Chains A and B, each alone.
Chain A
Amino acid sequence: MTALTLPRRGLARLRPARVPLAWRNLVADKWRLARASAGIAFAVLLMLVQLGFEQSFFTASLAAVEQLNGDLVVQNASKYRFGTRNPFAPKDFETIKTVAGIATAAPLYADWVDFFWTSPVDNKPHLVRVFAVDPDAPAVFSIPGIADQQTRLKTDDSVLIDSESRRFLGMNRNVTEAKLNGVSVHVAGKFSLGPDFMSDGTVVMSDRTFAYFFRTTPAAMPIEAAVIRLQPNQNAAEVQKRLTAALPGTLKVFTKAELVQFESNFQAKLSSAAPIFWLGALVGFVVGTLISYQIMYTELSDRMPQYATLKGIGYENGYLAGSVLRQSLLTGIAGYVPAWLLCLAVYRVVGHIALLPLHMTWRVTLLSLALTLGMCLLAGMIALRRVIAADPAEIF
């Protein structure tokens, strides 16, 4: 027995290592490769679309926070998410400005439940999100169209509107005069932010105009958030400490990154959409595994004589198994690449129609690639049994 196996081992070591068996098998039949690649591509596309949706919901709900133009942000400690009205007293804002190390502090006023935009589409009032800024203060948002146009808000009753708002609000149309809570406002410009799950559209106005709607003055208006920029060479953590010490305990000082993290934690905890998309991605994975198995099974059945021959001349199961798994992975990649490219188009079209920030990211790319390779590997391993069972004596 030992005497028999030794020379076989010796033969195996003599194998022409540079013959890329997996690759040759893969490209041997172009038509079959195209078919296999299409089958896998659709499963991959399904996963990519689902993962993309999952991510875009998240991205959309974080969009406003991520565009805050500052190093530190102060808001009420009891504010559980960014999108809820819970402002603090203006006198605390005065305190903020006195803390050492701060270059500028800009107030942000916001409201999510009290403003109704009369849509030119149906002439009916629709709830919109409103952000109000001091046009003389540094820009609160780095959103193009807000930062560079905020001086236009100095004219009373002027507003900027989000051209990416949901279509039924008609903000993408050519509007110059509009009504907000029945009051005529002048549209001084547009910006692009996009809706999230809570708000269909966004209007930006000056603090004076905002105060007018609440029958008060800008100086008396409670502030939703203070957006702070530091002097050069200041340590954010130290200024954060000084601010926390100077302010009452009802206020909380976030670094920009902390605020984004805080909001994304809330969204992750609350979002009921995420599991739906994960389920979809899982189904894509299962379908992909089945398709991939089917491909490998056929492939191995058809090449059984060749595998048996290889075995007969001394190649070991380990070598053949490696070749099969390599081929399975290569098939996966052959399906992945076209799916990824096609998905760019799908994201573009669907993102445009649904006003969702559907973008190809490293996260989605790597996650879907890992899932694809995982499903092909799994399918390859199940299909392997046939090669291992191949008996050179029986096959012919």
Chain B
Amino acid sequence: MTRPLISVKDLTLRFKTDEGLVTAVNNVSFDIAPGEVLGLVGESGSGKSVTAKSLMMLNAENSVYDEGSSITLNVDGKDYDVLSLRRPAEQMIIRGGAISMIFQEPMASFAPAITIGEQMVEQLMIHSSITRSQARDISVEMLTRVGIPEPAERFGQYAFEFSGGMRQRAMIAMALSTKPRLLIADEPTTALDVTIQAQVIDLMKDLVDEFHMSILFITHDLGVIAQTADRVAVMYLGNLVETGTVRQVINTPSHPYTRGLLNSLPKLDDLDAPLTPVPGDIPSPLDRPTGCVFHTRCVESGEIAERCRSEIPGTTIGADDHRVDCHLASAGDQA
């Protein structure tokens, strides 16, 4: 077994706020292997983005990592303890060096008054010792690679001159130009139309193969996950409630929350299937439920409801490392 590219262990992250410490990520562990696409799914407020930003130490000043949290990045046989990187020079490896990130809203991610090309060149020159004209050549080549027509002209244009889909392509080109090992894609297709989304997903798949990159793909759309991910992690209120291969999680979900998400999706092949919402709303992270975090909305707890209210479920590990945090699974009711 190859060593994981990045290994997150017992990550707990809290924010200091006026109302006290808010737990955004609670005891989260996962690995991403080289070349693997890990999908991270969950509702708004579940802590997906905060988890991803921890990998690049991009969380705000008021964030506190609990002792015992660790993120280990393994590049070319060398280990980096991500959470201990404090100086900007050290952080280069996680910020654009081995890890790049693309965001949901590409318009907000580009500087409006600097040309797209200039922004691409700037970050390339920071991360590698090349000349400006080499950086320019690489940038134009990357723009070509992501399917932007007339890349040489586009290079000199501003973000507002690009359409939404083109901006997201340019964003991908920029993120990949430094040849990162891990790409963090935070809802990269959410703001796009389905037809453009299909194009961008295709492009990302091609690029994973070509560059042998890993991707942490964050989305709330299980359809997008089914189409892109190798493995899936389902997040709820800062906790990972289920992880497994994409087939395990989508076809045989073990956690009631994963099942709830799947049941609330409109399915095209069965128009008569009723839409079953997960009842209620995600609780405030200031007011985390005791016991299982999902017990306030769980419809399956039934007889063991009392146990779910009081006792935090452990992780049950099934076949092929299919992990689920649920009392039902540990009681053997569900495989």
**A and B part of one assembly:** no
A interface, CB within 8 angstroms of B: none
Which residues of B are interface residues toward A (Cβ below 8 A)? none
